[in-house]
Amino acid sequence: MTIASEITSPPPQFPHGVTIVRQSSRGAASAPTTNSFSDITTWLLKGAARETEMLLLFESFIWRLIAAGVPLHRASLHIGTLHPQLLGFAWNWRRDDAVCHEVKVQHLTSETDSFKLNPLARIFATGEPLRRNPQSAEAQAEFPMMAELAESDITDYVALPFSSGTGYRHAMTLATKHPDGFPHTAGPEIRNVLDLFALHVERHIAQRIAENAVNAYLGGVAGAKVLSGSIKRGNGEAIRAVIWVSDLRGFTTLSDHLSGADMIVLLNAYFETLAGAVLAHGGEVLKFMGDGLLAVFPIGAVSGADVAARAALAAAQQAVRDLDALNAGALPQLAAIAGWHPLRTGIALHEGEVFFGNIGAPERLDFTVIGPAVNEASRVEALQKKLGRSILLTEAVARHLDITLDHLGEHELRGVSLPVAVYSPRA
């Protein structure tokens, strides 16, 4: 079995906005060599429920249909989802190479001609099944993709909508090269197992939507902990981490003279720049607080404090560079906002032990980090106005770095008994 997040074999070409996530190439080994529709029904009612990966479930289902005598040569599954950037996911299988690809689909694809002229757009709009012979001139005139299928010797194409209680659009397509197309006699049996398979699709969709939602609002690490059952107040763990606290300079002034709508556009561009740098270097974005950002770079047994410190500093330096580029380039959505730039940020990096877990009221919890180290990082960030440097590091972080730093002195921090040595990358 091969399941890869990095595709090693030459991948098929997908439209703009469609990206391969991973693939499986188990082939016929993913299903019994002989199978009946009764066997598939039994599997769907019992064994299939144990499969946690949609990629593997879909691949196994397709090969079971083949073992039952269905002359499949291409198949695809398409599901909608709840995600701020994604329209949905799809799984595409071809018998020629016996590889099944999982792809993610951006929202922008729904506005392209390739989607609007695709049979999927038709069944999403009408909710009605569709069947065409790609070899016919009428089908090729109706849907341009039929010409490509015809060149691959496809003789019968079926697109079937899946009903959904969630309001999202789902569909499956089946195609064959058999000279006589799909056998009509097997139609009711195929439809029966497809209806059962649709229930598993709904199960996986619900899980995928839950993952997308918690990851978008909590981050990948915290989201995974919540979904794995860490949902009780007080659940969590003490971890060591390099803590990132940042703030937008001049936020109050901007808020006073910009409308709420313009301020949202501005903050989104600002946070996209900073959070993008954190995520690009392996950090975990925990919280947006007004114009503030809280993030951590966990210190583990494999990736020690020096690795976390270097990653955090690299992210901070990238954030400052990218913010300068944002100021110089002026995104189209920012060009219409008068008096917004230049945007400046203050970033403080500190290392220490924090509690990473659930806090709050019994009915309303928050997954965050707390502890003296977080408070100290916040106090250091407040020194930005006095010291005039975009990036400040405490001694706890600086000791893990082998680069030249400017020592900016020892500073008293509110609530901290001893002065804290503060450093900054050499300008």
**pTM of the complete model:** 0.66
In whole angstroms, give the CA distance from residue 10 to residue 324: 38
Return the biggest CA–CA distance within the chain.
84
Residues contacting residue 227 through CB under 8 Å, at least 6 positions apart? 210, 211, 214
In whole angstroms, give the CA distance from residue 424 to residue 409: 10
In whole angstroms, give the CA distance from residue 228 to residue 303: 23
98 conformational bin, left if phi > 0, alpha if psi -120 to 50, beta if neither: left
**Nearest-CA neighbor of 181 among 139, 141, 127?**
139
Please state which CATH number belongs to domain 3-217.
Answer: 3.30.450.40
**Nearest-CA neighbor of 358 among 371, 370, 345, 367?**
367
Packing angle between helix 187-218 and helix 220-227, nearest 10 degrees?
A: 120
Q: Where are the chain's structural domains?
A: 3-217, 221-425
Residue 301 pLDDT:
64
Sequential DSSP letters for 305-357? HHHHHHHHHHHHHHHHHHHHHHHHH--HHHHTSTT-----EEEEEEEEEEEEE
Q: Where are the beta strands (DSSP E) in 69-155?
A: 74-80, 86-94, 99-106, 130-132
Low-confidence stretches of the chain (pLDDT beneath 70): 1-13, 15, 84, 163-168, 185, 301-302, 330
* ω into 342 cis (within 30 of 0): yes
In whole angstroms, give the CA distance from residue 369 to residue 156: 56
Residue 205 pLDDT:
79
Residue 330 pLDDT:
65
Strands 284-289 and 292-298, by their bridges, are antiparallel
User: Is 156 within 8 Å of 182 (Cβ atoms)?
Assistant: yes
- Other Cβ atoms closer than 10 A to 1: 10
Architecture of domain 221-425: 2-Layer Sandwich (3.30)
Same-fold call for 3-217 versus 221-425: no
In whole angstroms, give the CA distance from residue 96 to residue 242: 49
